Amino acid sequence: MNNDGGRQRRVSEQIQKELALLIQQEMKDPRVQWVTVSAVEVTRDYSYAKVFVTALTVTEDQAVADTIMPILKNAAGFLRRELGKRMRLRSIPELVFVYDVSMDNGNRISRLIEESRLSKGSTE
Protein backbone atom coordinates (compact mmCIF):
# COMPACT_ATOMS: atom_id res chain seq x y z
CA MET A 1 0.00 0.00 0.00
CA ASN A 2 1.46 3.34 -1.06
CA ASN A 3 1.25 5.97 1.70
CA ASP A 4 2.26 8.86 -0.56
CA GLY A 5 -1.01 10.67 0.23
CA GLY A 6 0.20 11.21 3.79
CA ARG A 7 3.48 12.67 2.57
CA GLN A 8 1.66 14.86 0.07
CA ARG A 9 -0.57 16.20 2.87
CA ARG A 10 2.44 16.87 5.13
CA VAL A 11 4.30 18.68 2.34
CA SER A 12 1.19 20.78 1.63
CA GLU A 13 0.83 21.69 5.30
CA GLN A 14 4.50 22.61 5.59
CA ILE A 15 4.37 24.77 2.47
CA GLN A 16 1.26 26.49 3.85
CA LYS A 17 2.97 27.23 7.15
CA GLU A 18 6.20 28.48 5.57
CA LEU A 19 4.45 30.62 2.95
CA ALA A 20 2.26 32.25 5.59
CA LEU A 21 5.38 33.24 7.52
CA LEU A 22 7.22 34.40 4.41
CA ILE A 23 4.35 36.58 3.22
CA GLN A 24 3.93 38.17 6.64
CA GLN A 25 7.60 38.59 7.55
CA GLU A 26 9.63 38.84 4.34
CA MET A 27 7.45 40.65 1.84
CA LYS A 28 7.81 44.41 2.10
CA ASP A 29 4.62 45.41 0.25
CA PRO A 30 2.06 46.69 2.80
CA ARG A 31 -0.83 45.58 0.57
CA VAL A 32 -0.14 41.94 1.45
CA GLN A 33 0.10 42.38 5.21
CA TRP A 34 -3.45 41.01 5.68
CA VAL A 35 -3.02 38.09 3.29
CA THR A 36 -3.36 34.64 4.78
CA VAL A 37 -2.72 31.25 3.21
CA SER A 38 -5.89 29.21 3.70
CA ALA A 39 -4.78 25.99 1.98
CA VAL A 40 -2.18 24.44 -0.30
CA GLU A 41 -2.71 21.57 -2.73
CA VAL A 42 0.42 19.90 -4.09
CA THR A 43 0.27 17.79 -7.24
CA ARG A 44 1.21 14.12 -6.97
CA ASP A 45 4.56 14.72 -8.65
CA TYR A 46 5.26 17.76 -6.41
CA SER A 47 5.87 19.99 -9.41
CA TYR A 48 3.07 22.47 -8.67
CA ALA A 49 1.49 23.81 -5.52
CA LYS A 50 -1.86 25.56 -5.75
CA VAL A 51 -1.81 28.16 -2.97
CA PHE A 52 -5.20 29.41 -1.80
CA VAL A 53 -5.01 32.87 -0.26
CA THR A 54 -7.49 35.29 1.21
CA ALA A 55 -7.24 38.77 2.65
CA LEU A 56 -8.39 39.42 6.20
CA THR A 57 -10.01 42.77 5.54
CA VAL A 58 -13.28 44.39 6.50
CA THR A 59 -14.45 44.43 2.90
CA GLU A 60 -14.69 41.33 0.77
CA ASP A 61 -14.89 42.93 -2.62
CA GLN A 62 -13.14 41.81 -5.76
CA ALA A 63 -10.85 44.85 -5.70
CA VAL A 64 -8.88 43.29 -2.84
CA ALA A 65 -8.28 40.13 -4.86
CA ASP A 66 -7.44 42.18 -7.94
CA THR A 67 -4.83 44.06 -5.90
CA ILE A 68 -3.08 41.20 -4.10
CA MET A 69 -3.05 38.50 -6.77
CA PRO A 70 -0.62 40.28 -9.16
CA ILE A 71 1.66 41.07 -6.22
CA LEU A 72 1.77 37.42 -5.16
CA LYS A 73 2.21 36.23 -8.75
CA ASN A 74 5.19 38.57 -9.17
CA ALA A 75 6.65 37.40 -5.85
CA ALA A 76 6.23 33.68 -6.66
CA GLY A 77 9.89 33.27 -7.65
CA PHE A 78 11.13 34.95 -4.49
CA LEU A 79 8.74 32.90 -2.32
CA ARG A 80 9.74 29.66 -4.05
CA ARG A 81 13.43 30.43 -3.57
CA GLU A 82 12.86 31.17 0.13
CA LEU A 83 10.86 27.95 0.49
CA GLY A 84 13.85 26.11 -0.94
CA LYS A 85 16.03 27.50 1.84
CA ARG A 86 13.55 26.45 4.54
CA MET A 87 12.36 23.04 3.34
CA ARG A 88 14.13 19.76 2.67
CA LEU A 89 12.69 18.78 -0.69
CA ARG A 90 14.47 17.56 -3.79
CA SER A 91 12.66 20.23 -5.80
CA ILE A 92 10.35 23.01 -4.68
CA PRO A 93 6.99 23.09 -6.48
CA GLU A 94 6.09 25.99 -8.74
CA LEU A 95 3.62 28.20 -6.88
CA VAL A 96 0.24 29.00 -8.39
CA PHE A 97 -1.79 31.49 -6.35
CA VAL A 98 -5.60 31.31 -6.26
CA TYR A 99 -7.86 33.73 -4.38
CA ASP A 100 -10.00 31.74 -1.94
CA VAL A 101 -13.53 33.18 -1.92
CA SER A 102 -14.88 30.78 0.72
CA MET A 103 -14.09 33.15 3.60
CA ASP A 104 -15.68 36.07 1.76
CA ASN A 105 -18.77 33.97 1.07
CA GLY A 106 -18.98 32.88 4.71
CA ASN A 107 -18.72 36.48 5.92
CA ARG A 108 -21.41 37.57 3.47
CA ILE A 109 -23.78 34.79 4.57
CA SER A 110 -23.17 35.60 8.24
CA ARG A 111 -23.91 39.26 7.57
CA LEU A 112 -27.14 38.39 5.72
CA ILE A 113 -28.28 36.13 8.56
CA GLU A 114 -27.57 38.84 11.11
CA GLU A 115 -29.44 41.45 9.03
CA SER A 116 -32.39 39.08 8.68
CA ARG A 117 -32.41 38.37 12.41
CA LEU A 118 -32.29 42.08 13.21
CA SER A 119 -35.07 42.93 10.76
CA LYS A 120 -37.32 40.20 12.23
CA GLY A 121 -36.63 41.54 15.72
CA SER A 122 -37.77 45.03 14.73
CA THR A 123 -41.06 43.80 13.22
CA GLU A 124 -42.15 41.87 16.28
CATH architecture of 4-123: 2-Layer Sandwich (3.30)
Given this model, what pLDDT does residue 1 score? 42
Tell me how far CA of residue 52 lies from CA of 7, 11, 38, 47, 114, in angstroms.
19, 15, 6, 16, 27
Give residue-wise pLDDT tens across range 66-101.
Answer: 889 999 999 999 999 999 999 988 889 999 999 987
User: Residue 100 — φ and ψ, nearest 5°?
Assistant: -90, 110
Give residue-wise pLDDT tens across range 109-118.
Answer: 767 777 777 7
* Nearest one of 39, 45, 47 to 98, comparing CA atoms: 39
Domain ranges in the chain? 4-123
Contact 99, 53 (CB under 8 A): yes
pTM as predicted: 0.78
Cβ partners under 8 Å of residue 21, min gap 6: none
